[in-house]
Amino acid sequence: MTKYLIKAMILPMTGPEDFFEQGEIAIEGDRIVWVGERGSHPVDFKPDRVLDLQNDVVMPGLINTHTHAAMTLLRGYADDMPLMPWLEKKVWPFEARMTPEDMYWGSLLALCEMIRSGTTTMVDMYMYEDETAQAVLEAGTRAVLSRGMVGFDLQAAEKALQENIDLFNNYQGAGEGRLQIMFGPHAPYTCPGEFLQTVKQEADKLQAGIHIHVAETKAELATIRERYGTTPVRWLEEQGLFGGRIIAAHSVYLDDEELAIYKKYEVGVAHNAESNMKLNSGTAPIVKMLKMGIPVGLGTDGACSNNDLDMFGEMRSASLQQKLVGSPEDLPAYEVLELATNGGAKITGFKDIGKLAPGYKADLISLNFKQAHFYPRFSIPSHLVYCARGSDVRTVMVDGKILMENYHLTTLDEEQICAEVEKRAKRIALEV
């Protein structure tokens, strides 16, 4: 059980006024045991190693609440298109040719990028998630995984559901609790009511949550209106999907009654500003959600619709988009940081991440602040949201284990992964 003492500027995300310009964090095993001013740790704490990061800001690891990790294989393959043609003409034909091994390497590439840019936890929905689970276990990060399911082909839907059940049985709690499993029905427009009800029953049996795309586009609203005479959120409530842990990705088009439904069932929202902008999906009413007390986290979506997995870029975009449609006072810097840390922890169900405080998991990152774009230092939260880039991350730790030190990945062979993905992605593109 390694003991670390980290000396740095510390933003613990325990309150807007909490910041240690010369601070320290004591870590024993996978837990934080002390956070405070330099030299304040208990006298009986004897570290095995001291990390002197006095030019860095240390903060909680970022939590990406909605992505499709192995979509890194499609990065740059299908750009500048509306959602449905993008899916039907590009994404789905490509995905149909992806093998489990392709998914494994694509997931590893995503994890390289996430670690490099400060993401320590992801919420993923895709195919062959057992391969993604293996990649996560190798990388040392934290993840919530679900098997994406489309429900119109009954035989394929039943197979996908069984794969999600198997995923839960094989990986729930794996990696000393770093892996959690949810169920992943894709969306209201791709899953009939009877199938959604079956998914909900199976999830409830296992006390697992549900991760689903909801109200992402105007086209989705029109489809649900034509089929069922109502809206996606109202229809999902009629199917009994809500109740228990629900992560509703996107949630762009919600009226006040639907927001009240979210509030009633404590639905968590995964907000994906950059994907929503790139696909011209719209602007989610995040400010209104937060005022109502609806839990919100941030996500990048997949690398095919973003095109990166940089949560620092996502924070900046999320704030600026809300200001564009509302007020310059909307979604200020510290509030955005809360969405990327505490907010993500709330909607994923991890109770001991998202803050740097005694008893919390030692999931943290450091950013090199000795760079021109971080001066003058009027506001550390402001710089983290409006100035920082993922490439500023120097150190990454999850569960008290160092995954990147001085920009060097310690658990993954990045050069091999990049070469393998390049080869595999080009092969698939030729087959489509």
CATH of the domain at 110: 3.20.20.140
pLDDT at position 250 is: 98
> Taking all residues of the chain, what is their mean pLDDT, rounded to a whole number?
97
For 401, the token pair is 């284990």
**The predicted structure's pLDDT at residue 43:** 93
Do 166 and 292 lie in one domain? The reply is: yes
Q: Is 90 exceeded by the pLDDT of residue 86?
A: no
178: helix, strand or coil: coil
Domain limit, last residue, from 333, 348, 363 = 348
DSSP state, 339? Answer: I
Three state DSSP letters for 385-407: HHCCCHHHEEEEEECCEEEEECC
Q: Identify whether 419 is part of a domain.
A: no
CATH of the domain at 29: 2.30.40.10
* Bond before 295 cis per omega within 30 degrees: no
The rounded distance, in Å, linking the Cα atoms of 176 and 390 is 27
Residue 418 covered by a domain? no
What is the rounded CA–CA span in Å between residue 350 and residue 180? 9
Looking at the fold, whether 214 and 285 belong to one and the same domain comes out as yes
Take residue 73 and report the two structure tokens written for it. 């294989």
Q: What one-letter code names the amino acid at 358?
A: P
> What pLDDT sits at residue 1?
84
> Same domain for 342 and 371?
no
Q: Average pLDDT in the 105-130 region?
A: 98
- Confirm whether 374 is domain-assigned: yes
pLDDT digit string (tens) for 292-350?
Answer: 999 999 999 999 989 999 999 999 999 999 999 999 999 999 999 999 999 999 999 99
User: In DSSP terms, which residues pair with 4 in a beta bridge?
Assistant: 27, 49
Q: Which residues constitute the domain of residue 357? A: 3-60+353-409
Tell me which DSSP letter residue 70 carries.
Answer: G
Same domain as 182, residue 144: yes
Let me know whether 385 and 340 are in one domain.
Answer: no
Q: What is the pLDDT of residue 287?
A: 98
Distance CA 99, CA 86 (A): 21
Single residue among 331, 348, 365 that ends a domain in this structure: 348
Number of domains in the chain: 2
Same domain? For 73 and 219 the reply is yes
The mean pLDDT value for 403-410 works out to 98
360 and 257 in a single domain? The answer is no
Nearest residue to 145 (alpha-carbon basis) of 69, 244, 248 = 69
* One domain for residues 332 and 274: yes
223 neighbors 40 (Cβ within 8 angstroms): no
Tell me which amino acid residue 96 is: A
Q: Report the percentage of the chain scoring pLDDT > 90.
A: 95
Mark whether 49 and 142 lie in a shared domain.
no
Residue closest to 395 by CA, chosen among 355, 360, 357, 368: 368
Q: CB neighbours (10 Å) of residue 236? A: 30
176 burial class (0-12, 13-18, 19+ CB within 10 angstroms)?
Answer: exposed
Query: Is residue 87 very low, low, confident or very high in pLDDT (cuts 50, 70, 90)?
Result: confident
Q: Mean per-residue pLDDT for 238-260? A: 98
CA 211 to chain centre: 12
217 and 110 in one domain? yes
Least confident of 49-58, 59-68, 84-93, 114-123: 84-93
Q: Is residue 287 a part of any domain in this protein?
A: yes
Give tens-digit pLDDT for 152-184.
898 999 999 999 999 999 999 999 999 999 999
Instruction: Tell which of 329, 348, 367 closes a domain.
Output: 348
| Nearest by Cα to 407 from 394, 388, 397 | 394
Q: Out of 70-84, 125-139, 300-314, 350-364, which region has the weakest mean confidence (pLDDT)? A: 70-84
431, part of any domain: no
Phi, psi of 153 (to 5 degrees): -85, 105
Does 244 share its domain with 368? no
| Best CA proximity match to 315, nearest among 265, 254, 274 | 274
Q: Cα separation of 33 and 425, whole Å?
A: 44
Q: In Å, how far are 22, 29, 122 from 393, measured between CA atoms?
A: 19, 22, 17
| 108 in any annotated domain | yes
- pLDDT tier for residue 81 given thresholds of 50, 70 and 90: confident
In a domain, 291, yes or no: yes
Q: pTM for the full model?
A: 0.97
Q: Are 364 and 397 in contact (CB under 8 A)?
A: yes
Could you tell me if 249 and 395 lie in one domain? no
CA dihedral for 374, 379, 381, 382, sign (positive or negative): negative
Per-residue pLDDT band for 261 (boundaries 50, 70, 90) equals very high
Residue 426 domain-assigned (yes or no): no
Helix (H) or strand (E) holding 51: strand 49-60
